[in-house]
Amino acid sequence: MKHWPDTRILDLFGIDLPVIQAPMAGATTPEMVIAVSEAGGLGSLPSAQYSVEQLRAALDEIRAATKRPINVNFFTHVAPQPDPVRLMAWRARLAPYYVEAGLDPSTPAPAGARAPFDRLFCEVVEAYRPEVVSFHFGLPDPELMKRVGATGAKIISSATTVAEARWLSERGVDAVIAMGFEAGGHRGSFLTEDMATQVGTMALVPQIVDAVDVPVIAAGGIADGRGIAAAFALGAAGVQIGTSYLFTPEARIPPVHRAALERAGDDSTALTNVFTGRPARGVLNRIMREVGPLSDLAPAFPTAGGTLAPLRAKAESFGSDDFTNLWSGQAARLAQPLPSRKLTVALANDALARIKRLTNC
Ligand SMILES: Cc1cc2nc3c(=O)[nH]c(=O)nc-3n(C[C@H](O)[C@H](O)[C@H](O)COP(=O)(O)O)c2cc1C
């Protein structure tokens, strides 16, 4: 079924539908990946919150259930040097919330849990040979890149500006994900920290298309056939969709997150660094309003999150989302609550029908 105006992503990945289910650490399950890949799209497994053993177990489950192409995704941040002074200032800022919750502010906080791609994760890639490997926050060092490439995997990564897209393309990626400002979760930025100048999907996609020779995948605020058709009109050859898949039964998110998504409108989200230390888009809640949404006090990624963990656990135990990261893009309101397999097919069919209507007139 190749009636798409641009089939470069279909041909590159060996898939039938140009719909990539976004890797979403902490929310995507193997069941979601299997369902999307079986539907003909590209299921993506995020590894940032997995240990090597957990990643192997998830890949065993997926490989046993589908022979279709899959994507495995990694973060490529550099773990920060310990900064006790900054951590103390952060703990002091959050101490009143501990007192309010009846928790001891001096209890040692767990470390923030987000693991970067390394030699051990690379060995998993070499053993399981996913058809696609995607990176967030740039690329790993050249030696690891070479090893991933040697497995035959197509390598892709997110760009939030034209400069980042060019940087990725110069280092040999097979496709660029153009991640617009609307997108849910962490910004993939790696050459800039300036969130005030981040670019929306409508402006970013055609400028990246003009700047690089590899195919471009549009991401951010795409939630139905209209968004997919628009992405193709802008020159994208595929789309990566995250927030819509959070509404599927295969997503594993806390009930407070699901509830926040269900009531989210166009202006319910903001970029915040209070949960991890890196800017990410989520539904506004109490901690974002009172401490952020962007705070100079938040320690470097991913260490900010540990101090919030006890507050989050306590609040969620009585149904409060005050301290939970409620990642969401700006188009949550457009999501259809369907199972992942049906959603993938419905998104593609809706987009194809719209593209046909637009090209016939
Ligand atoms: C809950 C959530 C978690 C995410 N986690 C990751 C991740 O682990 N790796 C990654 O590359 N992108 C991650 N993203 C970003 C997505 O890959 C994608 O760019 C984004 O969801 C697209 O925008 P949309 O949410 O408006 O569809 C995440 C997004 C969300 C909503």
| Protein residue whose Cα sits closest to atom 21 of ligand 1 | 242
Per-residue model confidence (pLDDT) at position 260: 98
More confident residue, 127 or 78: 127
Does the Cβ of 32 fall within 6 Å of ligand 1? no
- Average model confidence (pLDDT) for the chain? 96
Query: What is the Cα–Cα distance from 268 to 273, expressed in whole angstroms?
Result: 16
Q: State pLDDT tens for residues 236-256.
A: 999 999 999 999 999 999 999
Q: pLDDT tier at 2 (50, 70, 90 boundaries)? A: low
Distance 184 CA to ligand 1 centre (A): 5
Residue with tokens 């693991």: 115
| Protein residue whose Cα sits closest to atom 31 of ligand 1 | 184
Per-residue model confidence (pLDDT) at position 112: 64
Per-residue model confidence (pLDDT) at position 113: 72
Distance 359 CA to ligand 1 centre (A): 31
40-75 exposure pattern, b = at least 16 Cβ within 10 A, e = fewer = bbbbbbbbbbbeeeebeebbebbeeebebbbbbbbb
- Ligand 1 pocket test: pick from 19, 20, 21, 24 the residue with the most ligand atoms within 8 Å of its Cβ: 24
Q: State pLDDT tens for residues 24-41.
A: 999 999 999 999 999 999
Distance 127 CA to ligand 1 centre (A): 26
- C-beta neighbour count of 333 within 10 angstroms: 15
Over range 87-91, report the average pLDDT: 94
| Domains parsed from the chain with CATH numbers | 8-77+114-253+332-360 (3.20.20.70), 81-112+269-327 (no CATH)
Residue 186 is encoded by which pair of tokens? 């962490």
Q: State pLDDT tens for residues 162-219.
A: 999 999 999 999 999 999 999 999 999 999 999 999 999 999 999 999 999 999 999 9
Does the Cβ of 185 fall within 6 Å of ligand 1? yes
Longest dimension (CA), the chain: 67
Closest atom of ligand 1 to CA, residue 243: 25
Closest atom of ligand 1 to CA, residue 219: 22
- ∠ CA(72), CA(78), CA(81), 5° rounding? 145
Q: pLDDT tier at 359 (50, 70, 90 boundaries)? A: confident
- In 161-279, DSSP assigns E strands to 175-179, 185-186, 216-219, 238-241, 269-272
Closest atom of ligand 1 to CA, residue 179: 19
Does the Cβ of 235 fall within 6 Å of ligand 1? no
How many percent of the chain have pLDDT more than 70?
99
Over range 328-345, report the average pLDDT: 98
Per-residue model confidence (pLDDT) at position 105: 87
Q: State pLDDT tens for residues 254-308.
A: 999 999 999 999 999 999 999 999 999 999 999 999 999 999 999 999 888 899 9
